[in-house]
């Protein structure tokens, strides 16, 4: 299989294969009872392809026919044991598909056959955090799809209706799936960082989220310098709009490279997707006066370990950002629909090869985002 990057530009709205052939309210649903699911078992490092029962429709839920599910760096945290699973769990938290069944008594504008992206936090909508724009940290969540509830690496997934977002017309399933994590995360971290017109922005790590951060920062009017670990990824960063791209092979000279690129000013906002101790230290040394380092990525072994005085003398800040709110996903999809954000789908991979897709991330070989398709 070739793993070539491809800039995914849909030419026409993409529809479910059987959309238009089903009477709304009288679905001609093929009676599927057993389906394939890629599950991680406790203590194991490879997902098993199991035959499992198709989820049943419950009150307030919809059953989504999964069309695309993104493969995220978070998957590596599961298979490496950083995020343990208690029971066999279907991974995949970046999901887009068609509504195949929906609670007929639910109050919603969504209907059968609608194309949707999934907000993976099954938030309650009523706790303090949900009421205060922090639903990514809902304290009463029913779960998080692909984290502790069965996710999208299966043929059908049960999703609370309140977690569904309509896919806009110009956004493909693959794009929608990627926005359900990477795009949403980029919008959310940009809101937290307050990235604004004229800022000098660094994006450390040119993977799925990094490519989105570059584009969202450009929408804010920033000048963006990407920091990549290969010439190929630096080229990808420029392809999506980075003004400059530094190839970092040796962290001992990175601060010098950034200083040169910013005429000694440093970076007003840095998005860190890599999550390594050496990288964080280089980023802290590269923050401008009153600049912000936003930590998004992390790794199993790496700790944040630095003396604060250098940062203190610059009044620099360290922020963290986790996933996003539903409205971040909606905005991210709107930008995609308007053609302001491109999604680089590195490869479309069948469910059976999900372990290969995860290994490619571990080997840092993915140029963009791999997507499981069916
Ligand atoms: Zn993700
Ligand atoms: Zn809540």
> What pLDDT does residue 366 have?
82
Ligand at minimal distance from the CA of 297 is 1
| Between residues 286 and 364, the one the model is more confident about | 286
Average pLDDT over every residue of 251-271: 97
Q: Is the pLDDT of residue 202 over 90?
A: yes
Residue 146 CA to ligand 2 centre (angstroms): 18
Residue 1 has pLDDT above 50, yes or no: no
Write the CA distances from 150 to 41, 81, 144, 289, 327, integer angstroms. Answer: 12, 17, 8, 44, 23
Give burial (CB, 10 Å; 0-12/13-18/19+) of 322: middle
Q: Residue 352: how many CA atoms within 13 Å on its side-chain side?
A: 0
Choice among 25-29, 123-127, 167-171, 290-294 with the minimum mean pLDDT: 25-29
Distance between CA atoms of residues 208 and 188, nearest Å: 15
Would you mind telling me the total number of residues written for the chain in this entry?
Answer: 374
Please report, for the chain, the start and end positions of each structural domain, with discontinuous segments joined by +.
7-183+324-373, 185-320
Architecture of domain 7-183+324-373: Alpha-Beta Complex (3.90)
Topology of the domain covering 185-320? Quinone Oxidoreductase; Chain A, domain 1 (3.90.180)
**Parallel, antiparallel, or unpaired: how do β-strands 61-71 and 89-90 relate?**
unpaired
Answer yes or no: same fold for 7-183+324-373 and 185-320: yes
111 alpha carbon – ligand 1 mean position (Å): 26
113-139 pLDDT per residue, tens: 999 999 999 999 999 999 999 999 999
Ligand at shortest distance from the CA of 135 = 2
User: Distance, CA 120 to ligand 2 centroid (Å)?
Assistant: 13
DSSP string, 317-370: EEEE--S--HHHHHHHHHHHHTTSS-EEEEEEE-GGGHHHHHHHHHTT--SSEE
Query: Looking at residues 13-28, what average pLDDT do you find?
Result: 42
16-30, 183-197, 240-254, 331-345: lowest mean pLDDT where? Answer: 16-30
Which ligand is the nearest neighbour of the Cα of 138? 2
Task: Decide if pLDDT at 303 tops 90.
Answer: yes
327 CA → ligand 2 middle, Å: 14
Average pLDDT of the residues in 248-254 = 94
Cα of 312 vs centre of ligand 1, distance in Å, is: 32
Nearest listed ligand to the Cα of residue 147:
1
Mean pLDDT over all residues of the chain?
91
What's the CA-to-centroid distance between 13 and ligand 1, angstroms?
24
Q: Are strands 115-118 and 61-71 parallel, antiparallel or unpaired?
A: unpaired
Distance of alpha carbon 291 from alpha carbon 311, whole angstroms: 9
Give the number of other Cβ atoms within 10 Å of residue 139's Cβ: 11
Q: What percent of the chain has pLDDT over 70?
A: 92
28 has pLDDT over 90? no
Closest among 228, 314, 240, 236 to 279, alpha carbons compared: 228
267-272 vs 164-166, strand pairing mode: unpaired
Q: Is pLDDT above 70 for 17?
A: no
Ligand 2: centre distance to CA 280 (Å) = 32
- State residue 30's pLDDT score: 59
- Reported confidence tier of residue 26, pLDDT bands at 50, 70, 90: very low
The confidence band for 346, taking pLDDT boundaries of 50, 70 and 90, is confident
């Amino acid at each position: 299989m070739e793993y070539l990057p491809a800039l995914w530009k849909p030419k026409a709205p993409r529809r479910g294969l059987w959309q238009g052939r089903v009477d709304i309210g009288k679905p001609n649903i093929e009676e599927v009872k057993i389906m394939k699911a890629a599950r991680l078992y406790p203590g194991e490092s490879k997902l098993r392809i199991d035959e499992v029962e198709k989820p049943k429709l419950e009150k307030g839920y919809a059953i989504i026919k999964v069309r695309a599910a993104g493969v995220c760096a978070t998957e590596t945290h599961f298979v490496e044991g950083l995020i343990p699973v208690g029971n066999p769990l279907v991974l995949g938290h970046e999901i887009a598909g068609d509504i195949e069944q929906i609670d007929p008594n639910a109050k919603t504008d969504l209907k059968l056959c609608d194309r949707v992206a999934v907000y993976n936090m099954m938030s309650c909508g009523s706790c303090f955090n949900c009421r205060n724009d922090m639903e990514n940290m809902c304290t009463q969540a029913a779960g998080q799809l692909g984290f502790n509830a069965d996710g999208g690496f299966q043929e059908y997934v049960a999703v609370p209706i309140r977690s569904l977002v309509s896919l806009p017309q110009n956004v493909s399933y693959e794009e929608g799936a990627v926005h359900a994590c990477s795009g949403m995360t980029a919008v959310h971290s940009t809101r937290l960082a307050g990235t604004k017109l004229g800022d000098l922005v660094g994006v450390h790590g040119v993977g799925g989220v990094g490519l989105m951060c570059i584009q969202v920062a450009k929408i804010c009017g920033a000048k963006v310098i990407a920091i990549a670990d290969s010439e190929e990824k630096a080229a990808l960063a420029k392809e999506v709009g980075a003004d400059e791209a530094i190839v970092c092979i040796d962290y001992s000279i990175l601060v010098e490279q950034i200083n040169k690129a910013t005429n000694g000013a440093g970076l007003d906002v840095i998005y860190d997707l890599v999550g390594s101790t050496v990288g964080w230290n280089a980023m802290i040394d590269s923050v401008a006066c009153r600049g912000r380092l936003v930590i998004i990525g992390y790794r199993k072994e790496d700790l944040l370990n630095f003396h604060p005085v250098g940062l203190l003398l610059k009044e620099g800040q360290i922020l963290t950002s986790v996933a996003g709110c539903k409205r971040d996903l909606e905005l991210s999809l709107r930008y995609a629909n308007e053609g302001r954000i491109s999604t680089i789908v590195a490869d479309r991979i069948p469910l059976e090869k999900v372990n290969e897709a995860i290994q490619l991330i571990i080997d840092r070989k993915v140029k963009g985002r791999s997507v499981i398709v069916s």
